[in-house]
Amino acid sequence: MTVGKFRIHREGYKIIAGVMFALALLNIAGWVIWDGPATYHYIALGVSLLLLFFIVMFFRAPSRPVEPDPLLIYAPADGKIVVIEETYEKEYFGDNRLQISIFMSPFNMHSNRYPISGTVTWTQYQPGKKFHARSPKSSELNERSSIVVTSESGTEILVRQVAGAVARRIVTYSRKGEKVHQGDELGFIKFGSRVDIFLPVDTEVDVQMFQQVRASRTIIARVI
């Protein structure tokens, strides 16, 4: 759904409609049932509008076209860098990888994008727990969805969507064998989460800890 230049993500249509309906009913019921000062009704209406505004902003989906570059690796999500370290990735690679993790607060845009162009060569969904997304163990124990993209040069990059304490659903659009382009949407996580990206250990990193990044805008690393 597009309003002017503002676009609402399709994952939010039903939720926004449901919230609008529920808030309208509550406010109408308040006016009909409770015969109190009008000031309180206006306060309730104001709070309802603020909540609705927050929900709408959560599901915003800005257009971020990218000029593909095989040597650049873009951030797959909006948020803050919370991990930059070499770690053992056991689900797919079975060896050491450079892990960069981006924490998405409820105020960030939650559409996830492909950091490189290539072919989706592996996908896996794993149900799990609800540890806070900043926790190191969330990457291995929380609900998560992993996607491996192999570039034309053979470089494999794993992107992992990780549900946080308040996240309610991970949506992944990736399908094994499909061709994808840098900046295209790979999925969406609803209400707070993080995205991990696993790179070859010799990758040149372009970001720092606690840096704010934007999907398909911030270059987080370069292929050597």
**Catalytic center residues:** 193
The dihedral over CA atoms of 62, 67, 72, 75, expressed in degrees to the nearest 10, equals 0
Q: Give the residue from 73, 61, 102 showing the smallest Cα distance to 182.
A: 73
User: Cα dist. 101→2, 11, 58, 125, 158 in Å?
Assistant: 30, 23, 20, 18, 12
Q: How far is CA 79 from CA 96, 163, 186, 187, in A?
A: 25, 14, 16, 15
Residue with tokens 């053979």: 154
- DSSP letter for 10, please: G
Phi and psi at residue 203, to the nearest 5°: -65, 140
What type of residue is 55? I
Q: Is 126 helix (H, G, I), strand (E, B) or coil?
A: strand
Classify residue 141 by burial, with Cβ atoms within 10 Å: 0-12, 13-18, 19+: middle
Q: State the CB neighbour count (10 A cutoff) for residue 61.
A: 19
Q: Cα–Cα–Cα angle for 6, 10, 47, nearest 5°? A: 65
